[in-house]
Structure 1
Amino acid sequence: MAEKKILMLVGDYVEDYEAMVPFQMLQLLGHSVHAVCPDKAAGDKVRTAVHDFEGDQTYSEKLGHNFAITADFDKIDPSRYDALVIPGGRAPEYLRLDLRVIELVRHFAAGDKPIAAICHGQQILAAAGVLEGKQCTAYPAVRPELERAGGSWCEVNDTLSNAYVDGQLVTAPAWPAHPEWIRRFAELLGTRIET
């Protein structure tokens, strides 16, 4: 398996597990992962939030860790990357307002490169207009946006712990889906995982 260069798009209050775990797991699988954030440079940090499912009507939120940015957003060349990861949390709601982010996502979609989005990350895909005709899932509260953007909602077997693949797009509802979401994304990257 050849190492793939993966770009991860984060911002302040990205969901902690949805940034930290894939960042580390994809490196463990032998890939190079660069975490970027608009208006931040390598060495800067973003704050994270931990979203949990504790029986309330929606998720709870607690302050997470600081997550280090590893590449300068303004200096990246998306053509040098093989795939894109978009974690959830609160960051996608404002990152989708940045036209540079929208163009970045459109580059990966137009190039038919693997994209993994989880939880609220699909808000960025919807804003970029790349969900038309795609079957996907997300955190349930994102469903109206996903459908208005032309995507088809897919229920996964377990509400929060499964993933769905349509072509080069793998989506999941939340961090409990990491085993399936990361495995399916790794398959799109050509990574062989022995079980």
Structure 2
Amino acid sequence: MIVGDFGEDYEIMVPFQALQAVGHEVHAVCPEKEEGETVKTAIHDFRGDQTYLEERGHDFQVTATMADVEPSDYDALVVPGGRAPEYLRGYEEVLDAVRHFFEADKPVAAICHGPQILAAAGVLDGYEMTAYPAVQPEVEAAGCSWVDEVTTDGNLVTAQAWPDHPEWIAQFLDVLGTEIEHGAVAAADD
């Protein structure tokens, strides 16, 4: 997972924890941050205005150092949204990592403004996808076709914003091939 300062809080925290909850090991990295350092997140609230309201979120601890990460060692990539993607797309190491996942046809989940990074990496040509609506012109200019809903196209799973989490995460788990076994839970009286 590639994160950065003022990435969207729910779009970082929820998939990070959800993937761990079903047994995946998740490493969160950020350029210029070492393992154990934190990024500041932002909470985006949708109140019927032309765009979202932004408030300060949590501090999120990165769990690996980007310079030490070898993308070929990973099975999948998550690219959260928020404001972080607008500057993360300026890091060549971020773009190279993204390109690896697409060239190797590995699962990629992107949400909200995360597709700005994918567009900058030049990997969207021919895909059908979605993103935060304000990003639509940018991703279409990168060669994709726009869909107004959570979308899976091959290895890429995209969503518009955190309210899409249930469907977005479920579709990503399907692409990952994650099998969740539900066991019987005994009542406290038993």
TM-score bracket, shorter-length normalisation? over 0.9
Deviation sequence 1:108-133 (CA, Å, 0-9, x none)? 00000000000000000000000000
Alpha-carbon distance, 1:55 to partner = 1.0
Counterpart of 1:63 in structure 2 is 56
The whole-number CA distance in structure 1 between the counterparts of 2:99 and 2:154 is 15
Counterpart of 1:40 in structure 2 is 33
2:141 to 130, 144, 148: 148
Counterpart of 1:160 in structure 2 is none
Counterpart of 1:91 in structure 2 is 84
Counterpart of 1:19 in structure 2 is 12
Counterpart of 1:137 in structure 2 is 130
Where do 5+ consecutive residues of structure 2 fail to align? 183-190
Counterpart of 1:172 in structure 2 is 159
Counterpart of 1:126 in structure 2 is 119
Deviation sequence 1:135-188 (CA, Å, 0-9, x none)? 0000000000000000100122xxxxxx10000000000000000000000011
Alpha-carbon distance, 1:194 to partner = 6.1
The whole-number CA distance in structure 1 between the counterparts of 2:162 and 2:125 is 25
Counterpart of 2:187 in structure 1 is none
The whole-number CA distance in structure 2 between the counterparts of 1:152 and 1:99 is 25
Q: Which runs of 4 or more aligned residues in structure 1 lie more than 4 Å from their structure 2 counterparts after TM superposition?
A: none
Deviation sequence 1:57-80 (CA, Å, 0-9, x none)? 100100000000000110001110
- For normalisation by structure 2, the TM-score amounts to 0.94
The whole-number CA distance in structure 2 between the counterparts of 1:185 and 1:194 is 17
- For normalisation by structure 1, the TM-score amounts to 0.92
Number of corresponding residues: 182
The whole-number CA distance in structure 2 between the counterparts of 1:59 and 1:80 is 36
Alpha-carbon distance, 1:192 to partner = 2.1
Counterpart of 2:73 in structure 1 is 80
Q: CA RMSD in A?
A: 0.9
Counterpart of 1:9 in structure 2 is 2
The whole-number CA distance in structure 2 between the counterparts of 1:44 and 1:26 is 21
SS at match of 1:107: helix
The whole-number CA distance in structure 2 between the counterparts of 1:114 and 1:52 is 28
Counterpart of 1:5 in structure 2 is none
1:185 to 163, 166, 172: 172
Kindly tell me: are residues 40 and 58 of structure 1, through their superposed partners in 2, closer, same or farther at Cα, counting changes over 3 Å? same
Counterpart of 1:159 in structure 2 is none
Residue identity (%) = 64
Where do 5+ consecutive residues of structure 1 fail to align? 1-7, 157-162
SS at match of 2:60: strand
**Counting strand residues as a fraction of each chain, which structure ranks higher?**
1
